[in-house]
Chain A
Amino acid sequence: MHDCRHTQDNLVELLFDEPGSATRSRLLAEVEACALCGAQYRSLAETLDLCEAASAASLPRESYWPQYHAALSRRLHAAAGERQTNDARAQRRQSAPFWKRLLTTSIRVPAPVAAAAALLLVALSMFALSLAARSAPEPVVLAAPNASQGASAPQIKFIEVPVVQEKIITQTLYVPHRNSRNDGGDATASRRALTRENLAGVSRQNARAPEAEATPRANLSGFKPAGEVNLRIIKGSDAREH
């Protein structure tokens, strides 16, 4: 029984002479018997004939081929020269000493492996840098980068700042009271002498504080300055007045 769909599905194969002789004869009989299948067959055959005619017509003129062949010949000779160069290079390489071959040997590595190795290298480098940065002293930034400098990196300077260690020495001086009359002229003279002596001692201490500390005066016995020393001059009554 004729089935148009089945026949039409096989028309292309029939056109290309693919089916065996028995199938081919049966299909041809069906194409001749059925008007629709026949029309389909003829239209497909016309399509292929048009393609074949176009194929024959698409060949360039004869005048085209010499220049085509000349161009191809040039490219072939260039490729032959390249091949000879490569062969010569390979021969030279084979005759080279072992150490030279070893030094110039290259290996092919798959791209993913190479990428992974590069990433690992970068990660290790960054880790080492971060470790080094952690152990280094904190930099002192003296001035923030000027905004007008744009994208330039901030400049970091390390400056050693000398710390002046000052010592404040406190020394209590007792100056005899001027109104003391009991002492008479001797007392006044002794007071003046003591005052001069005290003043001279103080000026020496101001000039050379550490030395003053090192050489205790007679009236500062038992005085032990600690970290800081305050010098106080008290003008007032004599110790005997107290």
Chain B
Amino acid sequence: MEQSESELIGRAQSGDAEAFSTLARAYERRLYVLALHHVRDRADAEDLSQEVWLKAFRAIKSFRGESSFYTWLRQIMINTFLNERRALPYGGAQVVELDAWEASRRDASHGNNASLPVRSRGLEETVERQFLVARVLDALGELTAQQRLIFLLKHQEGMTYEEIADSLGCSTGTTKKALFRAVLKLREQLGVEVEAARYEPTRPFRKSC
């Protein structure tokens, strides 16, 4: 029988680790992706996201229900991200994926793509996706820690400028400037051309929370 979030929170507050573990299932992927984009390494992202869950479990008694559980959890996550010093230097993570991608591109340029079996084409798509992830993670690595966190909170979490400013303890103006610079730097790092923008945008962007 499915238990409601408030019931699970109540049990977790009385020390039930299993209830908290069930509660974590609902948000663990979202938290993991955010951690991955922040630290840009899968092993570190796993460690960091689990650290957030552990901190949340230790502090669950202080949860009063004044905000949603995820809002409360997100603040713990932001504090943990601000404290962590494990962000990789530029270009440290995805070397293997890039090599595999280049090999597949060479095959495709020699006309081998059509003759590839379905499984190989699926593999190539996977490699393409991995390459995209690697490109974006590398571009994120060029941002400062604050710019990266502000961009992720805005882009992935859909938080308002005021919410971000409150969470990070800075002004709304600082948040706006940091986001503006972050997007411009990402565009430069991802090599998106301004004049030759052939992409039909799906914007205005609004991320559902």
The residues of A with any CB-CB pair to B shorter than 8 Å are 9, 12-18, 24, 39-55, 57-60, 65, 68-69, 71-73, 75-77, 79-80, 83-84, 87
Which residues on the B side are within 8 Å of A17 (C-beta)?
204-206
Q: B145 near A: Cβ within 8 Å?
A: no
Indicate if the CB atoms of B21 and A55 lie closer than 8 Å.
Answer: no
Q: Is B193's beta carbon under 8 Å from chain A? A: yes
B18 surroundings in chain A (CB, below 8 A): 73, 77
* 3 closest Cβ pairs, A-B complex: A45-B201, A54-B136, A80-B17
| Contact A72 B154, beta carbon cutoff 8 Å | no
Other A-B pairs, 18, CB within 8 Å; known A50-B190, A57-B132, A65-B29: A13-B176, A15-B183, A15-B204, A16-B154, A18-B161, A39-B195, A39-B197, A43-B192, A45-B201, A47-B186, A50-B135, A50-B136, A59-B32, A71-B50, A73-B18, A76-B53, A79-B58, A80-B16
Assuming the A-B contacts A71-B50, A79-B54, are A50 and B132 also in contact, with contact meaning beta carbons closer than 8 angstroms in the complex? yes
Q: In the complex, A186→B184 CA distance in Å?
A: 146
CB nearest neighbor in A for B25: A69
Q: Contact between B197 and A43 (Cβ–Cβ < 8 Å)?
A: yes
- Kindly state the separation between the CA atoms of A69 and B22 in the bound complex, as whole angstroms: 9
Q: Return the contact of A79 from the options B57, B190, B202, B204 (Cβ within 8 A).
A: B57
A40 to B194, Cβ gap below 8 A? Answer: yes
Number of A-B contacts (CB under 8 A): 142
Task: Decide: A46 near B204, CB < 8 A? Known: A9-B180, A72-B28.
Answer: no
Contacts of A80 in B (CB 8 A): 15-17, 57
Is B192 touching A59 in the complex (CB atoms < 8 A)? no
A53: which B residues are within 8 A, CB to CB?
A: 132
B37 contacts A45, CB within 8 Å?
no
Interface centre among B129, B135, B136, B176 (most CB of A within 10 A): B136
Contact A77 B17 (CB under 8 A): yes
Question: Contact size class for B?
Answer: 35 or more
Q: Is the CB of A49 within 8 A of B17?
A: no
A123 to B15, CA, bound (A): 49
Q: Across the interface, do B179 and A68 meet the contact criterion of CB distance under 8 Å?
A: no
**Neighbouring B residues of A57 by C-beta, 8 Å:** 129-130, 132-133
Q: Across the interface, which residues of B come within 8 angstroms of A44, CB to CB?
A: 183-184, 187
* B44 cross-chain contacts in A, Cβ below 8 A: none
* A51 partner residues in chain B, CB cutoff 8 A: 136, 155, 186
Interface of chain B, main secondary structure:
helix
B203 touches A15 (CB 8 A): yes
Chain A residues with Cβ below 8 Å from B50 are 71-72, 75
Q: Is B20 an interface residue, CB under 8 A from the partner?
A: yes
Q: Chain A residues near B200 (CB, 8 Å)?
A: 42
The residue on B at minimum CB distance from A84 is B15
Q: Shortest CB–CB separation between residue A40 and chain B, in angstroms?
A: 6
B interface with A by C-beta (< 8 Å): 15-18, 20-21, 24-25, 28-29, 32-33, 36-37, 42, 46, 50, 53-54, 57-58, 129-130, 132-133, 135-137, 154-156, 160-161, 176, 179-180, 183-184, 186-187, 190, 192-195, 197, 199-206
Question: Do residues B33 and A47 form an inter-chain contact, with CB atoms below 8 A?
Answer: no
* Among A13, A42, A68, A75: residue with most chain B CB under 10 A: A42
Nearest-Cβ distance from residue B101 to partner chain A, whole angstroms: 13
List 28 A-B residue pairs with CB atoms under 8 Å apart, sorted by A's residue number: A13-B176, A15-B204, A17-B205, A17-B206, A18-B160, A41-B201, A42-B197, A42-B200, A44-B184, A45-B202, A45-B205, A46-B192, A49-B202, A53-B132, A54-B136, A54-B137, A58-B133, A60-B42, A68-B28, A69-B25, A71-B46, A72-B21, A75-B50, A76-B21, A76-B57, A77-B17, A77-B18, A79-B57
Q: Are B21 and A49 in contact (CB under 8 A)?
A: no
Does B25 lie within 8 Å of A52, measured CB to CB?
no
CA distance A24 to B37 in the complex (A): 30
A48 in contact with B190 (CB, 8 Å): no
Does the CB pair B161–A48 fall under 8 Å? no
The answer to whether B155 and A49 touch across the interface, beta carbons within 8 angstroms, is no
Interface-central residue, B37, B42, B192, B203, by most chain A CB under 10 Å: B203
For residue B155, give the distance in angstroms from its CB to the closest CB of chain A: 6
A112, B132: Cα distance in complex, Å: 50
Interface core residue of A39, A48, A71, A80 (most chain B CB under 10 Å) = A48
